[in-house]
């Protein structure tokens, strides 16, 4: 007999992190989406497999995600309601044996479907699995207010965003020494934006979508949330500094290099000017 899925740690953690994002104002209405690659042995403790063969084409291939299970937010589902009815607002999908289709195996109880950003999520999972294995299981997208605000006033490139955020808080260089990736504006929900995000995910754990939001990845939901939270806090500080007329002093590049050495991290090459 399968275990009660509502007692599953991965489901409880997903519900909590989504509620936390909504409380922070990062996920208005149905804005944002989250996916978690569940360990197969864990998923199989809770999922009752059926003879359902109603597969949906992905229209792209992710062969290294074959037979994997993903807990994914539903398309059009309001984040504020996830805590009230997880089975309606979330679902679990399983990728087929060659990574070209998926089928629903739990949730989406009222005829729902996975987020429209599923192509981007699966593309990012595919890249991170090939690079990190089990050290990356989460892809998280939200509309973090201050990070979006900065895309209207900062140059849209990795060097500018990375250094500006590093200089706002000493935590940032330690938490994301690789910097933050930035892609051009692309229509959301398309294979194109998935491909562009996937390319950036080869080098970064954070990727900015200008005028839209941010993607973060991590081994756990806490890690991905904490990564975005750290960047957003630095962005909030920068927005306030700019609104107060700009800075009179700052952490210097030399001091950032000393910080990196002290914490044993290596800043992305070419950003610090020493």
Q: Is 19 annotated as a binding residue?
A: no
* Burial per residue of 28-46, b for 16 or more beta-carbon CB atoms within 10 angstroms, e otherwise: eebbbbbbbbbeeeebeeb
Instruction: State yes or no: is 164 an active-site residue.
Output: no
Q: Which listed residue (117, 223, 232, 236) is catalytic? A: 117
Task: Please give the annotated binding residues for Zn(2+), written as ranges.
Answer: 141, 143, 212
Residues carrying an active site annotation: 117
């Amino acid at each position: 007999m399968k275990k009660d899925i509502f007692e599953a740690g991965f489901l409880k953690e997903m519900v909590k992190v989504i509620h936390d994002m909504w409380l922070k104002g990062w996920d208005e209405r149905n804005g944002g989406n989250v996916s978690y690659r569940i360990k197969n042995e864990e998923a199989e403790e809770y999922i009752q497999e059926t003879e359902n063969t109603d597969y949906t084409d992905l229209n792209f291939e992710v062969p290294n995600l074959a037979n994997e299970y993903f807990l994914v937010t539903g398309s059009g589902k309001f984040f504020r309601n996830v805590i009230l009815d997880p089975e309606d607002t979330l679902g679990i999908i399983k990728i087929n044996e060659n990574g070209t289709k998926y089928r629903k195996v739990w949730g989406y109880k009222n005829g729902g479907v996975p987020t429209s950003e599923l192509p981007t999520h699966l593309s990012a999972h595919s890249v991170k699995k090939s690079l990190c294995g089990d050290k990356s299981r989460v892809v998280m997208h939200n509309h973090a207010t201050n990070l979006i605000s900065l895309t209207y006033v900062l140059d849209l490139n990795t060097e500018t965003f990375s250094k500006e955020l590093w200089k706002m808080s000493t935590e940032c260089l330690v938490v994301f020494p690789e910097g933050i990736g930035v892609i051009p504006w692309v229509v959301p929900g398309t294979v194109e934006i998935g491909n562009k995000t996937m390319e950036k995910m080869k080098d970064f754990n954070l990727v900015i979508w200008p005028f839209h939001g941010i993607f973060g990845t991590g081994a756990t939901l806490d890690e991905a949330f904490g990564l975005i939270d750290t960047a957003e806090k630095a962005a909030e500080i920068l927005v306030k500094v700019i609104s107060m007329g700009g800075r009179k002093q700052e952490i210097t590049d030399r001091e950032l290099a000393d910080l990196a050495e002290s914490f044993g991290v290596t800043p992305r090459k070419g950003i610090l000017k020493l």
